[in-house]
Amino acid sequence: MSVITVKTKPSYQILIKPHIFDEIAEDLKASFNFGKVAIITDDTVKTLYGEKLSLQLNTSGIKAEIFSFPPGEGSKTIDTVISLARSLIQKRFDRKDLLIALGGGVVGDITGFLASIYLRGVKYVQVPTTLLSQVDSSVGGKTGVDLPEGKNLIGTFYQPSRVYIDPVVLKTLPKREIQNGLAEVIKYGCILKKKLFTFISQKGEELFQLNPEDLQYLIYESCKTKAYVVSKDEKEAGLRKVLNFGHTIGHALETELNYSIPHGLAVALGMLAEAKLSEKLGVAEKEVFSPLKNILANLSYPLSLPSNLSPQQVLKHLSKDKKVFQGKLTIVLLKRIGKYCFYEDPPTKKILETLEELR
């Protein structure tokens, strides 16, 4: 088993091991003092893994109940959080009880936010079931929900007590979901881990075979990188902003397209745009757009923006981004693959040119 410690206050561990899903009940009993367990999941994961986890917990003597909601970004709203909170109250869950986030990024964000505000804060653990949530969203304590005006505009920083990552559960995912998660792994390669970028480039489509050793490497390196960043800057006062590479434009695309595009694919397009912008603004010391485009092409990502997308509208969404401070947007750009920089207030004209060129 690989163990990574995230050195926040309090610190917590990420446990990565094939079939660790079957050991969750025993580890919880050995590691934490709690009462009942609420498994928060979506309707799809409830069928795939929720009932299995509930049975495991109840068989081991832990009273557990499942609370689910419809899958997808459309459920990532304050209404879902309120509905779940009311259900927990009705079932008499108190401050000593534990929440389990079982699912992908949407489930993790909703459960973390709920845990941070329910009865002014209860403990929760993450059991991510998608590659995207295993390599990114389950680690770091960012929680939140969307508003019509944009993504993740209401939320908190609230760290989980533990993260259980079982690569075996990824076997149930379609190729598109693996693509969705790989985008975040590529992001780590672009900003901090050139070796990881090279590994993905060399493996190419072979990664879709989900070789256990490849998965262990991708997940471990991604979590290790994010744990390092979060340990240094838990609440995004500085360094943690580097994790937004590809997300500034990617989130704007998601909002403009009404979340009809998967998060990872939006991030991939966002990374392409931000790599091209790095070259346009003279930030890049070496070519960054072509290497990134090649790696995405080899993994069958779309390489151009939808033709009906309005660059002007995308620009409007950027002005509402959480990273705007005193009217100025800070964006993550690349000096070269594996080395980033922060760029404040990029020229509107250059962003529009970049978006037009990618259509």
Render 171-228 in DSSP notation, one character per residue. Answer: GGS-HHHHHHHHHHHHHHHHHT-HHHHHHHHHHGGGGGG--HHHHHHHHHHHHHHHHH
Residues found in the chain:
359
Q: Is residue 19 flagged as an active site residue?
A: no
- Please identify which of the residues 46, 151, 187, 240 carries the catalytic annotation: 240
- For residue 314, the SS3 value is helix
| Cut 0.85: pTM above it | yes
CA 210 to chain centre: 19
For residue 322, the model assigns a pLDDT of 63
Closest alpha carbon to 212 in 240, 258, 171, 253 = 171
pLDDT per residue of the chain (359 residues) written in tens, 0 to 9: 899 999 998 999 999 999 999 999 999 999 999 999 999 999 999 999 999 999 999 999 999 999 999 999 999 999 999 999 999 999 999 999 999 999 999 999 999 999 999 999 999 999 999 999 999 999 999 999 999 988 899 999 999 999 999 999 999 899 999 999 999 999 999 999 999 999 999 999 999 999 999 999 999 999 999 999 999 999 988 899 999 999 999 999 998 988 888 999 999 999 999 999 999 999 999 999 999 999 999 999 999 988 888 888 888 888 776 667 667 889 999 999 999 999 999 999 999 999 999 98
Which helix (DSSP H) or strand (DSSP E) does residue 86 occupy? helix 78-90
For residue 308, the model assigns a pLDDT of 82
CA distances from 75 to 103, 113, 116, 283 (A): 13, 13, 18, 39
Q: What is the DSSP letter of 137?
A: I
Q: Is residue 263 flagged as an active site residue?
A: yes
CA distance 345 to 331: 8
- Please identify which of the residues 76, 224, 226, 317 carries the catalytic annotation: 226
For residue 108, the model assigns a pLDDT of 98
To 10 degrees, the CA torsion angle through 16, 295, 342, 227?
Answer: 0
CA distance 3 to 12: 10
- Please identify which of the residues 142, 224, 241, 280 carries the catalytic annotation: 142
For residue 325, the model assigns a pLDDT of 67
Find tokens 């750009």 and name the residue. Answer: 333
Closest alpha carbon to 149 in 308, 311, 266, 322 = 322
CA distance 214 to 53: 26
- Please identify which of the residues 76, 151, 193, 247 carries the catalytic annotation: 247
Q: Is residue 236 flagged as an active site residue?
A: yes
For residue 81, the model assigns a pLDDT of 98
DSSP 252-289: HHHHHTTT-S-HHHHHHHHHHHHHHHHHHTT--SS--H
CA distances from 42 to 23, 149, 282, 294 (A): 22, 24, 45, 35
Q: Is residue 142 flagged as an active site residue?
A: yes
| Contact criterion met (CB below 8 Å) for 40 and 67 | yes
- Please identify which of the residues 9, 92, 120, 171 carries the catalytic annotation: 120
For residue 326, the model assigns a pLDDT of 66
